[in-house]
């Protein structure tokens, strides 16, 4: 009995099919241990695509909620910004320090001619509030 393995199974790789002349085709060294047809991203691509589709479905499902929160945040910012600017007489830059945490995306703009402050969330919502004298600041109706 012999203690050595046959040469075909010594490396643990399957033996290549012999050519018509009986010789094995030469395999480049960089391809040793790889399956034919396998690519670098072959195993990850289906999972990444599936995750991307699920993320897109989630965003479409949650879009009304995101839009409603943006509308609420922009209306709140407009009201607070208007009161800060026209009731207290502060600058618009100092008014942004009065926002609640989590309102970093909301920006303010001022129209001194109409005494109106507009709060906006980029690409989602924009609301404005105007100074109404003794009544303070009133949020303009949604368009």
Tell me the pLDDT tens digit for each residue of 74-100: 999 999 999 999 999 898 888 888 888
Question: In the chain, what is the greatest distance between 2 CA atoms, to the nearest angstrom?
Answer: 108
Count of all residues that appear for the chain in the document: 143
Which candidate, 118, 115, 79, places its Cα nearest to that of 99?
79
Tell me the pLDDT tens digit for each residue of 10-55: 555 555 555 566 666 676 777 666 565 555 656 787 888 888 999 9
Give the number of other CB atoms < 10 A from CB of residue 96.
17
């Amino acid at each position: 009995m012999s203690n050595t393995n046959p040469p075909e199974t010594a490396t643990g790789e399957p033996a290549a099919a012999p050519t018509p002349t009986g010789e094995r085709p030469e395999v480049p060294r960089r391809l040793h241990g790889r399956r034919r047809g396998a690519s670098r991203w072959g195993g990850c691509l289906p999972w990444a695509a599936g995750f991307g589709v699920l993320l897109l479905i989630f965003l479409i499902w949650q879009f009304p909620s995101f839009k409603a929160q943006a509308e609420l945040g922009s209306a709140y910012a407009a009201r607070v910004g208007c009161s800060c600017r026209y009731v207290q007489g502060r600058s618009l830059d100092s008014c942004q320090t009065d926002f609640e945490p989590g309102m970093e995306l909301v920006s303010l703009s001022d129209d001194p001619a109409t005494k109106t402050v507009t709060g906006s969330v980029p690409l989602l919502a924009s609301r404005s509030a105007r100074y109404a004298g003794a009544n303070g600041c009133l949020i303009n109706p949604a368009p």
